[in-house]
A and B are shown apart, each in its own frame.
Chain A
């Protein structure tokens, strides 16, 4: 015990009374003397410093852990279309802000067009109402719904009949309506994780075919 540390009086008295109760009778008078003994080396610090325990960083679960917890498994009938509808309304406000839909749409030859497409590319698609208009697999054609999950290679859509469908992006072409504006997006251009997509640089020219 170093002398700099404040001594709790109650604790000291408690220790003394404990010693008095347990030590043999002949040794009782020596207790106080013994306690006053000063150790020569006690004030010297050892060279090897005690390492302070570093605080463990609060780490979020990685994808594997999340997946094992069933974070990404959305069962086919677990989500209702009507429950998701407010998300779509929020998204419509969001996208019209991102794309400046109050202003007229830029011409596809102008420079503003590039900005427009880039901001569309970097936008978040959670909540958008998408429909598949073309696909290499014919059974996906005609599927539509609100996007509830956007992964690197798939969109999860909730259709009007409350069914969750997973649509592979790379083999499909999507269409969405923003008020009177129809936007057609090739899914293969969006094959990046949504978090990365907002920061990633995109290629200027991509072949518009599946």
Chain B
């Protein structure tokens, strides 16, 4: 170690995938592959403010709840299953947990309780499960068809208490999504309301590169630089070797707006935003106009890389970027496993 490398580190190993010629349906399929996201960035070039109808979707659905010191046996209460699991979509995920060293749990919108537990805990529960990497087991309990409720309750009561993020989307308009709060409050469980963290930034740019003639990875990087409000044209190579992408068909505009939403974001919200964004792009008549939605995965949630890989809790960091254009949408996904 006479002369160790202290700068210009190689980038971490990441997996990338790029899909061209996508329509709205296939984009939605890609985004709906996973249930839990931690942030969404909506990029609209040639706008100072993100269109209000997109903002409205976020503000309408901005509340999510946090259950503190919650026993998972509450999820299998028949009253809860009847009035919430069967009557809507439930998104639950254990909060602030590291799935490489701690037990995790999630409830999926189709009503399945997924437990991600260490081997020695799994052996005491008495549930059938599948082996997972790093000495873990995955147990799936279908809440809609529990056969031996008492046994399930005994097993779940052996697990520790969790902090859980929760969102409930009712099937019908009638019961309000906040009725889940009333239910838990009446059962004496501490529940608090959190709101999505929303930020709107509109940095100054010289031009917006076009998706048509550039690799989506470069545009993703460019959006990332804008979202972090970094200097796009650094003068000194020692600090940053970044250079802006150049393209022939770039949009001649100095305006761009980025709408950054952070918090516990379910896939349904992402789908709604992407539908609106698609409609917005179609309404714009500028040539080669594009806008993008970028979603970041929750690092400790069940994750599926593609349709052929298993969905399981894995420590990963992943981002999916969708570029909506007039004709063909482009999907660029990039991700890495934290431990392998």
Chain A interfacial positions (CB closer than 8 Å to B): 133-136, 138-142, 209-210
Contact = CB atoms under 8 A, between A and B. Distances in A.
B235 to A, nearest CB: 59
Interface residues of B, number: 12
Interface string B109-137: 00000000000101111111100000000
Contact of A142 (B120, B122, B154): B154
Nearest to B139: A138
Contacts of B128: 138-139
B120 A138 contact: no
Nearest to B151: A142
A133 B120 CA distance: 11
B120 A209 contact: yes
B123 A136 contact: yes
A135 B129 CA distance: 13
B123 A210 contact: yes
B239 to A, nearest CB: 51
A140 B123 CA distance: 10
Interface in B119-173: 120, 122-129, 151, 154-155
B255 to A, nearest CB: 59
Given A134-B124, A138-B123, A138-B127, 15 more contacts: A133-B124, A134-B123, A136-B123, A138-B122, A138-B125, A138-B126, A138-B128, A138-B129, A139-B126, A139-B128, A140-B126, A141-B124, A141-B126, A142-B151, A210-B120
Contacts of A210: 120, 123
A134 B121 CA distance: 9
A40 to B, nearest CB: 90
Contacts of A142: 126, 151, 154
Nearest to A210: B123
Interface of A is mostly: mixed
A142 B148 CA distance: 13
Contacts of A134: 120, 123-124
B48 to A, nearest CB: 58
Contacts of A140: 126
Contacts of A209: 120
Which of A135, A136, A138, A142 gathers the greatest number of chain B CB atoms within 10 Å?
Answer: A138
A135 B123 contact: yes
Nearest to A172: B123
Contacts of A139: 126, 128
Nearest to A136: B123
Contacts of A141: 123-126, 155
Contacts of B126: 135, 138-142
B280 to A, nearest CB: 51
A168 to B, nearest CB: 13
A84 B151 CA distance: 25
Contacts of A135: 123, 126
A136 B128 CA distance: 10
A135 B124 CA distance: 7
Contacts of B127: 138
A140 B126 CA distance: 7
